[in-house]
Structure formats: C-alpha cells, structure tokens
C-alpha cells in the first residue's frame, strides 16, 4: 500500500518463525484486502503515527497472528507490549492513546452517540447485505442475485443514503469515527460498481452516497491505505469462482502466491 512501511509474507512462509523485527513503535498484523484491518490502517495514517504492517495469508495463518489476536483474525495491533484486537477496539485504543493528533470523536455527546448507533446498524445490516450480494454472484440462479441486490439497495438507502445530510460526510463537513468504521464496504461497493456491477450503486437512487464516496476518495490518508481496484477485483474473483483464495495478497504490487507445488514442498 503506497506510503506505508509494510512487509508482506505469503503462504507457508508465514508459518515459519517470527515476523521480521521492527524499530517502529506500532505494528499492525493485517491482510491487504480485509476491510476490518483497513479501519486500523486508516486511523494510523490519518493520525500520522509511525508504524509498520505485516500482511499475512489468512488461508495459512501464522502462529504469530494468534499471539496478536487469539481469534486468528486481523487486525491485531502491537504497541508497548499490548495486544489489541477487533477493529473497533483498535480504533478506540488509537484514539484514546493519541487524542492529540487528528481526533476522530465528535465533541458533542449527542453526535457521538448517534454516530455509534449508525455504525452499529451498518455493521448488523449493511455489511451482511454487502457480503450476501457478493456471494450471490456465485449462484447461477438469477433470482438469487436479484433478491440480494434488492436487499442491499434497501438497507443502503435506509442506513446510508437517508443518513447523509448536506455532508458530504456522516458528521457533516469533516469526517469522523463513523466514516472510518463504515467506509471500507462502501469503497468496495464503489469498485464493483465502476468495474463489474454498474447496477450496484445507481446514481439516480444514491446521489448522496456517491457524493460521499467521492469525498472520501479525495482524502490523502484514504488514498494511502486503500488497496488497488485491480487487487480487490482479483480477490473478489477468487471468491466468486468458488475457490478458496490460497494466497490472499494478490495485488499487482505483491504477486499472487499459489503455495507449494505439493504438501511436502
């Protein structure tokens, strides 16, 4: 990812020993195409905090991933001997630990509470609908895809389009923690709309959503931490083909690692 100090490890390579040593005060265990890990990377970039990133292959989880996160998921944040995991916990930790740099939380208690409510609804409704829509691409039944798209449009209208005011961000003129938590899935929706599924985000139905996406894309720290369109599309292709992605790091900057030729390799 441009502008980040990152190390990418592939396949069975990550199962051997520990990750490379670092002189950075913060380390993030990540995966390039994970939207939850992207939340952590966005906060680190926005706050300008010195860090490095270890991208792992989630189909061959290394032992050190479980040391950072006992659930074997990303992100895992290592800082001052602490292991912080679950993306919302990581975001909150970074905000509380470094409140003096690019604060994310609105000062107004009501606005803050409303943002939490919105991000919670996004997590329980928009995110599942997005994944159901992507999963429907694997089906040969057009009715399955039609139903998934209709449901995604319904929840997107309720919990995104109608929640955006004069904006362009959820909090108004400037972005805040709500945008950080919601953005990764809208970014992926935008990429799919641009390259594969023009009906996913229709400009007539979702003008505020598209205005929001354009505003977020223009932010330097978003550009710094976003995976490329090409890489995300390749990742989606491996998923919709019905094949389990063997090497998760398939960006053009990081060639796809297909694993050893045999189990004994």
**254 has a pLDDT exceeding 60:** no
Q: Catalytic pick from 9, 29, 34, 104?
A: 34
- What is the pLDDT of the chain when averaged over all its residues? 84
Res. 263: pLDDT tops 50: no
pTM of this structure = 0.86
**Range 142-146 average pLDDT:** 95
Chain-centre distance for alpha carbon 61 = 19
DSSP codes of every residue in 230-247 = HHHHHHHHHHHTTPPPS-
Position 231 scores a pLDDT of: 86
**pLDDT tens for each residue of 56-113:** 878 778 888 888 899 999 999 999 999 999 999 999 999 999 998 999 999 899 989 9
The pLDDT of residue 23: 86
Residue 9 bears catalytic tag: no
Which helix (DSSP H) or strand (DSSP E) does residue 144 occupy?
helix 142-159
More confident residue, 123 or 1: 123
Give CA–CA dist 37/52, Å, rounded: 13
């Amino acid at each position: 990812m441009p502008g980040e100090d990152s190390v990418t490890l592939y396949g069975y390579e990550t199962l051997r020993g520990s990750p490379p040593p670092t002189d950075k005060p913060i380390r993030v265990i990540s995966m390039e195409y994970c939207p939850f890990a992207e939340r952590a990377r966005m906060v680190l970039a926005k706050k300008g905090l010195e860090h490095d990133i270890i991208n792992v292959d989630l189909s061959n989880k290394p032992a050190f991933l479980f040391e950072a996160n006992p659930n074997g998921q990303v992100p895992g944040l290592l800082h001052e001997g602490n292991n912080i995991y679950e993306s919302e916990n990581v975001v909150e930790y970074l905000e509380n630990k470094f409140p003096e740099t690019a604060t994310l939380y609105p000062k107004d208690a009501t606005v803050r509470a409303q943002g939490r409510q919105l991000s919670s609804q996004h997590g329980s409704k928009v995110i599942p609908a997005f994944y159901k829509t992507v999963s429907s691409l694997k089906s040969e039944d057009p009715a399955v895809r039609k139903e998934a798209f209709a449901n995604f449009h319904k929840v997107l209208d309720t919990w995104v389009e109608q929640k955006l005011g004069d904006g362009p961000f959820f909090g108004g003129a400037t972005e805040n923690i709500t945008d950080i938590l919601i953005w990764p899935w809208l970014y992926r929706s935008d990429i799919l709309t641009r390259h594969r599924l023009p009906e996913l985000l229709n400009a007539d139905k979702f003008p505020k959503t598209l205005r929001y996406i354009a505003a977020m894309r223009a932010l330097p720290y978003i550009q710094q931490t976003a995976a490329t369109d090409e890489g995300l599309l390749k990742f989606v292709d491996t998923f919709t083909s019905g094949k389990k992605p063997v090497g998760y790091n398939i960006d053009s900057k990081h060639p796809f690692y297909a694993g050893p030729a045999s189990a004994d390799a």
